[in-house]
Structure 1
Amino acid sequence: MNSAAGEDPMEPHPPRTVTVSYAGGDERRGPLTMGQANMIRCILRDDPEHINNHDVWTVPPGADEDDVVDALRTLAERHEGLRTTFPHAPGTAPVEQVVAGEGAFTVTVLDHAEFPEESARSAESAARAARAGRFALDREFPLRISLLTLRGVPVHIALASSHAVTDGSALAVLREEFHALLAGGELPAPAALAPLDLAAEEASPTGKRKSEASLRYWERIIRTEPQEMFAEPRAAGADGRARQLTLR
């Protein structure tokens, strides 16, 4: 395909933003889970490029932009975590979470006449770039989503995510569900507890006993096991910024 005079086929067209609305969920509010509280401390302290997550999802052939948007909307409506923000005053850490019943998020469409490199690498670069900058925990949708297209045809989703809401395992679940939706499948009810339900379980007498037993176990391990920590050469496959840390 010949490009117009003066047009670089390797450069993406100007980004286009699509606003995706969702509705129908339950609006809820409550305390943080222990995991959320711990991760939020890291988010407020650490380099965003280190603490944020990213992932790349392949869009299967035959899916158009509307199909992708509908699948992403379904994920937001399905998972309370994706509709959760953490209100707090400046200079303080959140102590509660709020689940929205309705709202909106954006998808940035990056259309290419040709990809400057293999398409998955372009998507990986876009996802890594989206990790920069702290998520605004009190108001920002926890996924920064870009849709990479080739002359209008969806090819990859590149996204960065807030670690307050998703870890690597959660992103893998979202990826599987995204593909299932685009394949026309029906998703079963989520297997994991919603964060607010987990927080309630942690606050129950049984949950408190489990937490106290875990703390006693790890206190014993930390007090009695040998402690050695040292840096080794960069891990295989690292991108030059990550280093491998060994704890013995």
Structure 2
Amino acid sequence: MTPTFPKPSELATASRHLVDVPFEGDGAATGALNWGQQHILGAIRNLGSPMNMCAVRELTPPASVQDFADELRFYLERFQAMRTLLRFSPDAPPVQEVLAAGLAPLEVVDLPADADAARAAAELVAEHEQRPFDDENELPIRMVLVRRDGVLTHLVTVLNHFATDGAGAFVMYEDYLRRDPVTGAVPEPVRTHPLDLTAQQASPAGRRQSDASLRYWEKALTSLPPTGQPAPVEREGARYRRVALRSVPMMLGATRIAHRLECDVSAVLLALFSTALARVTGTRPAAAQMLVSNRFRPGMADVVGNVSQTGLFVVDVAGATVDEVVDRAQRAVTRTYKHAYFDLAQWRELLADVERKRGEPLALCYYNDRPSQRSGTAPGREPSAEAVRAAAAVPTPATWTELPFFNERLMVTIDNVDEAGDAIPLLVYADTWHVPPEDMEALARLMESLAVAAACDPGTPTGIV
């Protein structure tokens, strides 16, 4: 048998150099972190991962280095988040500093004529996804140009997730595309920067919003029955694991239910998750934390920054059909969104107080529907019941992955649909000392089977009395 060896890196023979890009911008100031910034900074630290966001753009001649120096300057000068550094001290919360001016590096990677430029760009993405930003000294945007035999082929853009989320990144690029081709200006100024949110949240109106949200959390959490959680059980194999199902039956079933109920697929998936969670874990009502984007709030749709916070979702799934739970879940998630905007320090104090009174940790599951964080999931064409049954007749394989670390006991993620668009990518992550692997897979399989059953029979019960 002929041995195989990994191909050498396309970057091994590349040369790299930096181009300094000067910038100047308004709004230079120092201030506290806003609630969304506090949330994402905590998430990055808890996960132990930089969570960098990377994008690759394929370039066509006659692109020049100066073009992208101008693009980088545009982002830095228009968006204060892109020229913000953090300042840490041992005895005080971190603060942010918006710079008035400075130099930003634009990296150029030169490849020989026989190099695979697309592969080199992919290697750069892999490199930068794992290279943390130096929050105190490094601007939160990196741009890297790939040049082969003197011709620019790719641009790799890397954003520090602390500085913005995916929606904010799209705002940046859309503004760049809308700029005046001569002056480089955009007709209207940026309405809200991260420091503006800090000021709004410290205002009387901001305090009232936070207080109302925390009252909702306290009332909902104290109403949850005790679970009598058992002690963790050490199991063989990796402690932290993920099971993935790429489920065609769930996509078809949820789509058919969405057509019947005239809602989006995300609402159906939330009901399926709630029902499966209650049945597998025995917790009633079903309760979970979820990431909520606050971009629906006035003036926050176009913020280049992080505006997501944790929401608390609680829904009763007992004595109902799956269709009825879809309606209940939609009303419950409205309350979740309304109360996912609050002072993070006070929220942590509230959780600790509730846990002390309950005498046990809350340990809520985390639910993350990534497509719904943008604009919901459109139903698409309505499948027939026969198509749903035919898809369910083909077993969906489960793919297991061992994780080096995971910071939740249980998390269910609906991932972004791939190019084929014919399946729901369902991921269940867990600390198996608290949630055994068989329960992880059972939860995923139950969501799938409920989707099939309810798609074919509107009277399908949740199975919870």
Other structure's SS at 1:56 match: strand
Contact 1:48–1:133 (Cα < 8 Å) also in 2: no
Given that 1:33 and 1:198 are in contact with CA atoms closer than 8 Å, whether structure 2 keeps it comes out as: yes
State the alpha-carbon separation in 2 of the partners of residues 60 and 35 from structure 1. Answer: 37
Which residue number corresponds to residue 27 of structure 1?
28
Structure 2 distance, partners of 1:115, 1:227, is 52
Is the alpha carbon distance of 1:151 and 1:45 closer, same or farther for their aligned partners in structure 2, counting shifts above 3 Å?
same
1:80 corresponds to: 80
Separation of aligned partners in 1, 2:62 and 2:220: 53
Q: Aligned pair 1:127/2:125, yes or no?
A: yes
In structure 2, distance between residues paired with 1:153 and 1:33: 43
Distance 1:123-1:93 versus aligned 2 partners, 3 A rule: farther
Deviates more, 1:185-194 or 1:138-147: 185-194
Deviation at 1:17, TM superposition (A): 1.3
User: What CA distance in whole angstroms lies between the structure 1 residues aligned with 2:193 and 2:37?
Assistant: 12
Whole-Å Cα distance in 2 between the matches of residues 243 and 133 of structure 1? 28
| Contact 2:25/2:78 (<8 A) preserved | no
- Structure 1 residues 178 and 122, CA gap change in structure 2 (3 angstroms): farther
Instruction: Give the C-alpha shift of residue 162 in structure 1.
Output: 1.3
Q: 1:189 to 1:59 in 2, by over 3 A?
A: farther
What does residue 189 of structure 1 align with? 188
> In the superposition, relative to structure 1, how do residues 209 and 25 fare at CA in structure 2: closer, same or farther (>3 Å)?
same
1:154 and 1:181 map into 2 onto residues whose CA distance is 23
Aligned residues of 1:108 and 1:147 also touching (Cα < 8 A)? yes
Counterpart code for 2:161: H
Equivalent position amino acid for 1:158 in 2:
V
Q: CA deviation at 1:209?
A: 1.3
Q: 1:218 to 1:58 in 2, by over 3 A?
A: farther
In structure 1, which of residues 165, 168, 177 is the aligned counterpart of residue 166 of structure 2? 168
Q: Distance in 1 between matches of 2:152 and 2:180?
A: 12
What does 1:69-218 align with in structure 2 at a 5 Å threshold?
69-89=69-89, 94-112=93-111, 113-116=113-116, 119=118, 122-180=120-178, 186-218=185-217
One-letter amino acid of the structure 2 residue matched with residue 99 of structure 1: V
Unaligned runs of 5+ in 1: 1-7
Change beyond 3 A, Cα 1:128–1:190: farther
Q: Does 1:17 align with 2:18?
A: yes
Deviation per CA, 1:171-190: give whole Å up to 9, x if none: 22223334445966642334
Residue 43 (1) aligns with residue 44 (2): yes
Gaps of 5+ in 2: 1-7, 225-284, 289-364, 366-409, 419-424, 430-442, 448-465
Moved more, 123-132 or 218-227: 218-227
CA RMSD in angstroms, aligned pairs only: 3.4
- Per-residue CA shift, 1:35-59, capped at 9, x if unaligned? 111111223333335x222222344
Instruction: Judge conservation of contact 2:25–2:76 (CA < 8 Å) in 1.
Output: no
CA contact (8 A) 1:147 1:157 kept: yes
Give the partner amino acid of 1:27: A
> How much does 1:195 deviate?
0.6
Q: Is 187-196 or 223-232 further displaced after alignment?
A: 223-232
Bigger mean CA offset, 223-232 vs 149-158: 223-232
Distance 1:164 1:18, change over 3 A: same
Counterpart of 2:15, as a letter, is P
Distance in 2 between residues matched to 1:175 and 1:99, nearest whole Å: 21
SS of 1:69's partner is: helix
Contact 1:131 1:161 in 2 (8 A): no
Task: State whether residues 60 and 182 of structure 1, in contact with CA within 8 Å, keep that contact through their aligned partners in structure 2.
Answer: no
Q: Are positions 1:226 and 2:281 aligned together? A: no
Structure 1: distance between partners of 2:21 and 2:37 = 26
- Map of 2:291 onto structure 1: none
The change in CA–CA distance for 1:219 and 1:114 in structure 2 (over 3 A counts) is farther
Equivalence for 1:5:
none
Q: Tell me which of the two structures has the higher relative contact order, counting C-alpha pairs closer than 8 angstroms and 6 or more residues apart.
A: 1
1:144 positional shift? 2.4
Q: Residues 232 and 88 of structure 1: is their aligned pair in 2 closer, same or farther, counting only changes over 3 Å? A: closer
> What TM-score does the superposition give when structure 2 sets the normalisation length?
0.44
The whole-number CA distance in structure 2 between the counterparts of 1:210 and 1:233 is 28
Residue type matched to 1:22 in 2? F
In structure 2, relative to structure 1, the CA distance for the partners of 1:220 and 1:116 (3 Å cut) is farther
Structure 2: distance between partners of 1:176 and 1:57 = 14
Query: Which has the higher Rg, Structure 1 or Structure 2?
Result: 2
- What SS does structure 1 have at the residue aligned with 2:87? coil
- The 1:86/1:33 distance shift into structure 2, 3 A limit, reads same
CA distance in 2, matches of 1:169, 1:226: 29
Residue 233 of structure 1 and its aligned partner are, at CA, apart by: 10
**Deviation of the 1:133 alpha carbon:** 3.0
Residue by residue, what CA displacement relative to the aligned partner does 1:164-208 show, whole Å, maximum 9, x if unpaired? 101111122223334445966642334441111111001111111
